[in-house]
Structures are given as structure tokens and as C-alpha cells.
């Protein structure tokens, strides 16, 4: 057995626990979810859980970080796709259409939206988790800000607000529209369409007049 095999097995166990917990927390909420329920969904014992996480809160917070990372990576992947197609460097591109194309990614599924809502509620009630959540949110804002800055530099765009404020508004709009779509019972495709439409409207408002009118 190689030295790497136990590490690989441990990481697989950890990921299965995270995947199972995401479903359980989204379905019943953190307070109603038990360690036993998470372990049963993952096919492991309590020992496997506690060898990877000290508490449900620790696992819960790691899930929040994973969801945030996946959102940023989805946007990065879309940007890379458009760059390879030569679209980002096209001087005649309408900037609002450009932003809409960049953000034309799959919307959050219902369970993902429920999970993030549960994370926010619990962070409001637990100061330590709240601080950690805000720190993770700041990382996401920084990542989106870098993407936004790169897009602006490549296409000669100017904004009405500092890029970090714009990124925060984009994220808040994304999350708010997703929650309302989930409440309305929309499917994933309809949710994604509403998110992209709202973000395109916001982009038009945030672009400087010269950029928006191109």
C-alpha cells in the first residue's frame, strides 16, 4: 500500500460525508439533521464522521465554502470558454450582452438554494459561524472582483462604482433572485434564466454611460 492511499481514502470519505450532509441539511435544516442521518445517507458510521469533523457546525461551514467556490469556478469556466472563442476581446461586443454571456451559467438547483439559506440563518444565530461566513463571502467577492476587473480591462469597460462594490451587488442579486425563484417553485432552467436576466439589468445600471452606450 502506498503512503498516498490512506490520504485518498480519507478524502473520499470526507467528500461523501459533505455530499450527504448537503442533502440532509437542505432537506430538514441543520437543527433537525443528526450526525446519524448524515452518516446513514453517506453509508458510514459515526466514527467516520468524527474522524473527519469535530462538529456538525464545522462540516456545515465547510459546505458553505464549497458552494461559494463552485459558484466562482462556474463563472471562471464561462469566462475561459468565451476567451477561447475570442468573444471577450471583440471590440464591437455590446458590454451588457457580454456580461450576460459571462453570467449565462447554470442556476443553483433547489437543494443548493435551500442549503445556502440554511447556512445564512445559522450564521445569523452563531457569532463564530457568522464571522467565518463573512470571511468566506469576502473571498468570493475578491474572486468575482478579479474576474470583473479582467473583463473590464480586456474590453475597455468603465463602471459607475468601485469593482468590489459591483461584485458584492452582483452576488447579492444572484442570491436574492435564486431564493425568490425557489419560493415560486421554478425549475432549475427557469431559475437560471431569471438570475441571468436580473444580472444583465444590474450590469447595465453599473456600467458607465460611455460603456453602456457602446
Q: What is the pLDDT along the chain (214 residues), one digit of tens a residue?
A: 555 667 888 899 999 999 999 999 888 988 899 999 999 999 999 999 999 999 888 888 788 778 777 777 777 777 777 777 776 655 455 666 666 666 665 555 788 888 888 888 888 888 877 888 888 788 888 888 887 887 788 778 888 999 999 889 988 998 899 899 989 999 888 888 888 888 888 888 888 776 655 5
Question: Residue 84: how many CB atoms within 10 A of its CB?
Answer: 9
Tell me how far apart the alpha carbons of residues 183 and 181 are, in angstroms, rounded to a whole number. 5
> What CATH superfamily classification does 1-53 receive?
Homeodomain-like (1.10.10.60)
Per-residue model confidence (pLDDT) at position 99: 64
Question: Residue 201: how many CB atoms within 10 A of its CB?
Answer: 13
Per-residue model confidence (pLDDT) at position 53: 93
- Its sign, for the CA torsion 168, 133, 26, 50, is positive
Length of the chain measured in residues: 214
H or E, element range at 63: helix 56-84
Tell me how far apart the alpha carbons of residues 143 and 72 are, in angstroms, rounded to a whole number. 7
Tell me how far apart the alpha carbons of residues 167 and 138 are, in angstroms, rounded to a whole number. 10
Q: Where along the chain do its domains lie? A: 1-53, 56-212
Tell me how far apart the alpha carbons of residues 193 and 9 are, in angstroms, rounded to a whole number. 39
Per-residue model confidence (pLDDT) at position 49: 94
Per-residue model confidence (pLDDT) at position 211: 63
Per-residue model confidence (pLDDT) at position 91: 45
| Cell numbers standing for residue 188 | 432549475
pTM above 0.85, yes or no: no
Residues 35 and 56: beta-carbon distance below 8 Å = yes
Per-residue model confidence (pLDDT) at position 142: 86
H or E, element range at 5: helix 4-28
User: Yes or no: is domain 56-212 CATH 1.10.357.10?
Assistant: yes
Residue/partner pairs of 145-149 with CB below 8 Å, 24 or more apart: 147/72, 147/75, 147/76, 147/79
Closest CA to 154 of 103, 98, 70, 212: 98
Amino acid at each position: 500500500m502506498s503512503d498516498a492511499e490512506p490520504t485518498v481514502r480519507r478524502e473520499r470519505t470526507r467528500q461523501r460525508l459533505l455530499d450527504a450532509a448537503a442533502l440532509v441539511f437542505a432537506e430538514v435544516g441543520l437543527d433537525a439533521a443528526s450526525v446519524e442521518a448524515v452518516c446513514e445517507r453517506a453509508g458510514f458510521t459515526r466514527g467516520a464522521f468524527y474522524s473527519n469533523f469535530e462538529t456538525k457546525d464545522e462540516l456545515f461551514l465547510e459546505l458553505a465554502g464549497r458552494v461559494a467556490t463552485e459558484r466562482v469556478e462556474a463563472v471562471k469556466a464561462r469566462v475561459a470558454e468565451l476567451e477561447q472563442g475570442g468573444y471577450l476581446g471583440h471590440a464591437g461586443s455590446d458590454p451588457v450582452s457580454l456580461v450576460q454571456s459571462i453570467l449565462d451559467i447554470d442556476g443553483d438547483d433547489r437543494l443548493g438554494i435551500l442549503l445556502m439559506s440554511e447556512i445564512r440563518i445559522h450564521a445569523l444565530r452563531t457569532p463564530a459561524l457568522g464571522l467565518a461566513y463573512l470571511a468566506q463571502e469576502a473571498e468570493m467577492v475578491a474572486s468575482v472582483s478579479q474576474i470583473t476587473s479582467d473583463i473590464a480591462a480586456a474590453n475597455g469597460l468603465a463602471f459607475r462604482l468601485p469593482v468590489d462594490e459591483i461584485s458584492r451587488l452582483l452576488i447579492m442579486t444572484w442570491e436574492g433572485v435564486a431564493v425568490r425563484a425557489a419560493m415560486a417553485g421554478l425549475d432549475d432552467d427557469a431559475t437560471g434564466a431569471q438570475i441571468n436576466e436580473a444580472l444583465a439589468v444590474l450590469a447595465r445600471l453599473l456600467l458607465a454611460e460611455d460603456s453602456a452606450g457602446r
